[in-house]
């Protein structure tokens, strides 16, 4: 047993791997278990994954929209956002732990639940969602760059798909920059996140201070009442509160599902839990307070709610702040685009054809398709409605959370056979029926139908915002009922 293994017994002993798995069609170097000596991430890296996600332009816009949509006091909306942070923290601790232990990404881990071929279903769905978000976030990041370009070269009146020529140049610049950053590898991405996350906080605090100063003594009284008058929400206050919690959880849904894509780089489970604690509930406390003050302040100062930080910076009309803020918002949004919307689809696409699609090829495919999504965001896709859009996306993949967690902790008892994960032999533990776990597919279908119904069926619209949590719960319960006869005995010794 290696020294590293003795120091951290929760990490899988890679000496148990069969050398022959390298010849399997299910194997490539990007999907292979990551040995302990190649793991360089600590708690600060995970904290910055969340700080970039929460403080991205899209994340801020969503939070500001929630303050305006439900007719609650700003303090209650803030409390709901923090509550969501605790829920997401608990969920990612569950999905991240197996990848910390075994060093494998999400599409490989889910093979244990749905089969070596069945794993392609969640991988494809997650890839589609990631590519979609990648295009949207690329557009949002480009709005910050467009501010800088407008200062330098000016704007243009002619538009194509809602974007003028300056905006299109900014969009292409951001798109190319992200490809180059991705191509540089995981370590440069980590370093990029580690400075982008803290820097955006500095800018947001400065922006909050300026808005607060301009609002004067009108701001704090306004926070309790200014959001309650113009809402069309017809539910009661408890329903509004829980709907906000559900919507924020759904916003993180894609990262919750594939958190193993990042936790596999961590040195220990302790680093993961500490990073999640600081990065989610604690971070969301400060972030939601900043968003609360700024959103209320724009209503007081400008007479209208501005939900995009780029628009707020333009209104403040301070050139030094405009330059610094634009660069910072750009960095934060690019940062989360890397970890939430670029890296996961790259793994997911590589999992489809491991011998033909590498991690980098998967990333290029992601970028090319997402270019068209981002280009159509302003003129078409954004018209769908941002809150309903987030809820619907979360609902689609919700059952996979329940299935993965129930399978790993209750059925497999936290023990996975690494060699069988990469084996396509009918005798393999995860071959099931022709590579598909039919019981897992049934659980997914039932959970997904119910969670999608909460978005699409009028009589169930009162459950708005709960789609992800309910779909995850139903998928997990159905999976447990169907797979319980195949559960590993708790008396089995899972690690030597």
Mean pLDDT of 196-211: 81
Please state which of the ranges 72-86, 229-243, 392-406 shows the lowest mean pLDDT.
229-243
pLDDT value for 7: 44
pLDDT value for 464: 62
pLDDT value for 442: 97
| For residue 232, pLDDT beyond 70 | no
**Please, which pLDDT band fits residue 493 given cuts at 50, 70 and 90?**
very low
Give Cβ neighbours of residue 137 (< 8 Å, ≥ 6 apart). Answer: 56, 57, 58, 333, 336, 337, 340, 341, 374
Helix, strand, coil percentages for the chain (3-state, nearest 5): 75, 0, 25
How far apart (Å, rounded) are the C-alpha atoms in residues 348 and 346?
5
Give Cβ neighbours of residue 476 (< 8 Å, ≥ 6 apart). Answer: 399, 401, 402, 403, 405, 406, 443, 447
Percent of the chain whose predicted confidence (pLDDT) is above 70: 90
Mean pLDDT of 435-448: 95
pLDDT value for 440: 96
> pLDDT for 146-198, tens place per residue?
888 887 877 666 677 778 888 899 899 999 999 998 888 888 888 888 887 78
| For residue 407, pLDDT beyond 70 | yes
**Please, which pLDDT band fits residue 208 given cuts at 50, 70 and 90?**
confident
pLDDT value for 42: 93
| For residue 4, pLDDT beyond 50 | no
Query: Which phi-psi region, left, alpha or beta, contains residue 423 (left: φ > 0; alpha: ψ -120 to 50)?
Result: beta
pLDDT value for 6: 39
Percent of the chain whose predicted confidence (pLDDT) is above 90: 31
If residue 159 lies in a helix (H) or strand (E), which one and from where to where? strand 159-160
Q: Which homologous superfamily is 41-382 in?
A: Hydantoin permease (1.10.4160.10)
Number of Cβ within a 10 Å radius of residue 1: 9
Look at 458 and 435; give whichever has higher pLDDT.
Answer: 435
pLDDT value for 389: 64
pLDDT value for 94: 96
Burial grade of 181 (CB within 10 A; 0-12, 13-18, 19 or more): middle
Closest C-alpha among 261, 227, 199 to residue 80? 227
Quote the tokens at residue 482: 């169907």
| For residue 80, pLDDT beyond 60 | yes
Please state which of the ranges 129-133, 377-381, 408-412, 476-480 shows the lowest mean pLDDT.
377-381
CA atoms within 13 A on the CB side of 157: 0
pLDDT value for 394: 66
How far apart (Å, rounded) are the C-alpha atoms in residues 225 and 208?
19
| For residue 495, pLDDT beyond 60 | no
Domain ranges of the chain: 41-382
**Please, which pLDDT band fits residue 128 given cuts at 50, 70 and 90?**
confident
CA atoms within 13 A on the CB side of 333: 31
Mean pLDDT score across all residues of the chain: 84
| For residue 199, pLDDT beyond 90 | no
Quote the tokens at residue 79: 């409390």
| For residue 402, pLDDT beyond 60 | yes
Highest mean pLDDT among 68-82, 258-272, 294-308 belongs to: 258-272
| pTM across the whole model | 0.84
pLDDT value for 5: 41
Task: Check: CB of residue 395 under 8 Å from CB of residue 452.
Answer: yes
Give Cβ neighbours of residue 151 (< 8 Å, ≥ 6 apart). Answer: 319, 322, 323
Please state which of the ranges 10-24, 91-105, 361-375, 435-449 shows the lowest mean pLDDT.
10-24
Q: Which residue has the tokens 């071929």?
A: 117
| For residue 474, pLDDT beyond 80 | yes
Q: 428 by DSSP, 3-state: which?
A: coil
If residue 160 lies in a helix (H) or strand (E), which one and from where to where? strand 159-160
**Please, which pLDDT band fits residue 229 given cuts at 50, 70 and 90?**
low
pLDDT value for 86: 96
Mean pLDDT of 433-451: 94
| For residue 332, pLDDT beyond 80 | no
pLDDT value for 101: 94
pLDDT value for 405: 97
pLDDT value for 281: 94
């Amino acid at each position: 047993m290696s020294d590293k293994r003795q120091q951290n017994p929760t990490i899988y002993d890679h000496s148990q791997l069969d050398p022959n798995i390298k010849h399997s069609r299910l194997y490539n170097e990007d999907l292979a278990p990551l040995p302990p000596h190649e793991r360089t991430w600590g708690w600060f890296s995970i904290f910055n994954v969340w700080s970039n996600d929460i403080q991205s332009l899209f994340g801020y816009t969503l939070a500001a929209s929630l303050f305006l949509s439900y007719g609650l006091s700003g303090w209650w909306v803030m409390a709901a956002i923090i509550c969501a942070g605790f829920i997401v923290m608990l969920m990612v601790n569950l999905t991240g732990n197996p990848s910390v232990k075994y060093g494998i990404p999400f599409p490989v881990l889910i093979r244990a639940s749905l089969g070596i071929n069945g794993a392609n279903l969640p991988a494809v769905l997650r890839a589609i969602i990631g590519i979609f978000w990648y295009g949207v976030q690329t557009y949002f990041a480009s709005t910050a760059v467009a501010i800088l370009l407008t200062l330098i070269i000016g704007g243009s009146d002619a538009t194509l798909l809602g974007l003028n020529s300056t905006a299109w140049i900014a969009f292409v610049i951001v798109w190319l920059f992200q490809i180059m950053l991705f191509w540089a590898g995981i370590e440069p991405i980590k370093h990029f996140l580690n400075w982008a996350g803290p820097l955006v906080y500095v800018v947001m605090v400065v922006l909050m201070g300026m808005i607060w100063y301009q609002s004067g003594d009108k701001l704090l009284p306004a926070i309790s009442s200014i959001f309650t008058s113009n809402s069309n929400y017809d539910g009661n206050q408890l329903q509004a509160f829980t709907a906000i919690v559900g919507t924020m959880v759904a916003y993180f849904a894609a990262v919750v599902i594939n958190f193993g894509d990042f936790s596999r780089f961590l040195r220990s489970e302790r680093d993961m839990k500490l990073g999640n604690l600081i990065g989610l509930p604690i971070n969301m406390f400060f972030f939601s307070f900043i968003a609360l003050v700024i959103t209320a302040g724009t209503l007081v100062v400008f007479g209208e709610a501005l939900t995009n930080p780029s628009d707020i910076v333009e209104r403040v009309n301070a050139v030094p702040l405009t330059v610094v803020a634009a660069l910072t918002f750009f960095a934060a949004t690019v940062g989360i685009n890397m970890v939430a919307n670029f890296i996961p689809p790259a793994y997911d696409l590589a999992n489809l054809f491991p011998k033909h699609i590498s991690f980098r090829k998967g990333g290029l495919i992601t970028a090319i398709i997402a270019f068209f999504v981002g280009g159509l965001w302003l003129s078409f896709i954004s018209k769908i409605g941002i809150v309903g859009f987030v809820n619907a996306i979360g609902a689609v993949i919700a059952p996979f959370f329940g299935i993965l967690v129930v399978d790993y902790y209750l059925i497999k008892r936290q023990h996975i056979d690494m060699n069988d994960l990469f084996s396509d032999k009918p005798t393999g533990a995860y071959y099931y029926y022709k590579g598909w776990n039919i019981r897992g597919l049934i659980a997914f279908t039932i959970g997904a139908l119910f969670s999608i119904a909460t978005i699409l069926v009028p009589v169930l619209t009162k459950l708005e915002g709960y789609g992800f949590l309910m779909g995850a719960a139903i998928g997990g319960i159905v999976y447990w009922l169907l797979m319980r006869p195949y559960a590993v005995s708790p008396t089995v010794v899972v690690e030597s």
